């Protein structure tokens, strides 16, 4: 007969082979993996998202350094600033692929710990970038901005600029999840401004009449605009706004301008991206703290490459600990006693 039925064991073998081939093609062509090499050391970079300019620049810096070091860099990203599940899966995939090291910007500094522990027990060196884990000793090393210092710098600047005025402060944060980087910047700002934060590791427990309120934004422009609109409806006397990052600041300014209050409200932020520095030059942002994502990626990757060169044996110590990759205050209205750079300098050193 022309249409003979295959024996069952042959059909299963063909099906298994086809499945294996399909999985191989999927792994080679997508799923967030780049830069395959047959005999190179595999290193993973896991960021919070793949579209935020900060992480885009970090990935570019890591790819450049990987090329210099002869490393096979494989990149993954979550679907949002707080997407822990995708980061866990990325770590598991990298361990299965035989990675010697993983660089990660943790979306949830606590929830990611079990996945990191499993990777380190498998002999993988894990390095945190941008945001520390909680506890920080959960990784071999951290290369990041001192985010509390970044917040303090804009807080001190704002305090000096508001001298003689009655401050009415709005704070536009990342999320309600008490994410580490969110807490450090928010609390650092308030400390710099002179607020008793009570618990420096928690947002929102301060009792200071100068604070109008906190709103979450998702650290993006649309969220910044919506949050600012809510707070202005709550209290139209706001004259100072802290923002988690510069896209949030840009959105906040849209709401401020729509309310006709752009001359009455000062906005401060953290990032150092080129669009944000341009907004400093344009008067949209009064001051921002610049961080250096390329340096984080390059130094972290170099540490992992050195680990692999030494044989990549074990990963049970806390390594060199925290390395501050630097922060600079950018403003065109400097204040006495606080080091800063103007926006023209910022445009020569910005990212994105």
Return d(Cα 235, Cα 215) in angstroms, integer.
13
pLDDT in tens, 258-295: 999 999 999 999 999 999 999 999 999 999 999 999 99
* Helix, strand and coil in the chain, % to nearest 5: 45, 20, 40
**Is 0.85 topped by the overall pTM?**
no
pLDDT in tens, 326-345: 999 999 999 999 999 999 99
pLDDT in tens, 33-58: 444 445 789 999 999 998 888 999 99
Burial class (CB in 10 A: 0-12, 13-18, 19+), 117: middle
């Amino acid at each position: 007969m022309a249409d003979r039925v295959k024996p069952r064991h042959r059909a299963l073998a063909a099906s298994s082979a086809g499945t294996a081939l399909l999985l191989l093609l999927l792994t080679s062509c997508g799923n967030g993996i780049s830069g395959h090499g047959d005999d190179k050391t595999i290193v993973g970079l896991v960021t919070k998202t793949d579209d935020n300019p900060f992480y885009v620049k970090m990935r570019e810096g890591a790819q450049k350094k990987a090329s210099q070091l002869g490393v096979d860099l494989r990149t993954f990203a979550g679907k949002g600033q707080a997407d822990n599940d995708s980061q866990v899966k990325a770590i598991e995939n990298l361990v299965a692929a035989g990675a010697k090291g993983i660089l990660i910007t943790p979306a949830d500094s606590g929830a990611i710990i079990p996945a990191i522990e499993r990777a380190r027990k498998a002999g993988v060196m894990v390095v945190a970038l941008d945001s520390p884990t909680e506890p920080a000793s959960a990784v071999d090393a951290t290369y990041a901005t001192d985010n509390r210092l970044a917040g303090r710098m804009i807080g001190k600047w704002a305090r000096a600029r508001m001298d003689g005025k009655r401050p009415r402060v709005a704070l536009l944060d990342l999320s309600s999840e008490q994410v580490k980087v969110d807490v450090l910047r928010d609390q650092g700002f308030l400390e710099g401004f002179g607020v008793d934060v009570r618990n420096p590791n928690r947002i929102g427990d301060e009792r200071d009449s100068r604070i109008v309120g906190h709103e979450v934004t998702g650290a993006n422009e649309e969220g910044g605009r919506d949050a600012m609109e809510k707070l202005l409806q709550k209290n139209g006397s706001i004259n100072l706004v802290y923002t988690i990052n510069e896209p949030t600041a840009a959105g906040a300014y849209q709401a401020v301008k729509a309310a006709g209050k752009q001359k009455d409200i000062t906005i401060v932020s953290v990032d150092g991206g080129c669009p944000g520095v341009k907004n400093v030059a344009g008067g949209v942002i009064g001051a921002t703290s610049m961080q250096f994502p390329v340096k984080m990626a390059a130094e972290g990757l170099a540490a992992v490459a050195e680990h692999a060169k030494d044989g990549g044996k074990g990963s049970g110590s806390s390594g060199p600990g925290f390395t501050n990759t630097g922060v600079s205050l950018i403003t065109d209205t400097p204040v006495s006693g606080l080091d800063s750079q103007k926006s023209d300098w910022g445009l020569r050193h910005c990212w994105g």
